[in-house]
Amino acid sequence: MRRFGRPEEIGVWSERCYGCGDCVLDRFGGVFPIARCSKSLLNGPCGGSANGKCEVDPKNIDCAWQLIWDRLKALGMEKHYEENISAKDWRTGRGAGPRRIMREDLAS
């Protein structure tokens, strides 16, 4: 399975997509909840976020579901927010939210 990310700053990259071939990005405004949500929730937020930040690390992690809502609203696609998605095959999964790679010698 390929994984795709983006640079956040010099020396820091974060995961954004698993490249699994079972894409649901069209339903989430281009924000993949499995890669972006720390709890990998596919059908809505956990209830532990506050002010758009994730309870796992409120200083550094945005709530993926807040990002999804903001994007869907901006695109006029709010109706997709309440659609339920079928369960995925978790045998290829991993845990602990969006992964980040950081080169200490380059990151500020």
Chain segment 73-86, per-residue pLDDT in tens = 999 999 888 888 87
In sequence order, what DSSP letters do the residues of the chain get, joined into one string? ---EEEEEETTEEEEEE---S---GGGTTT--HHHHSTT--SSS--S--BTTB-TT-TTT-B-HHHHHHHHHHHTT-GGGGG---PPP-GGG---SSS-EEE-TTT--
Question: Does residue 108 lie in a domain region?
Answer: no
Residues of the chain with pLDDT > 70, as a percent, come to 74
Question: Does residue 29 lie in a domain region?
Answer: yes
User: CA-CA distance, 51 to 48, in Å (whole number)?
Assistant: 10
User: CA-CA distance, 92 to 98, in Å (whole number)?
Assistant: 15
pLDDT value at position 98?
A: 57
User: CA-CA distance, 55 to 86, in Å (whole number)?
Assistant: 25
Question: Does residue 107 lie in a domain region?
Answer: no
Structural domain containing residue 78: 4-85+94-102
pLDDT value at position 65?
A: 94
pLDDT value at position 14?
A: 74
State mean pLDDT over 12-29: 76
Domain count, the chain: 1
pLDDT value at position 3?
A: 65
**Between 26 and 2, the higher pLDDT residue:** 26
pTM: 0.67
User: CA-CA distance, 37 to 24, in Å (whole number)?
Assistant: 14
Question: Does residue 53 lie in a domain region?
Answer: yes
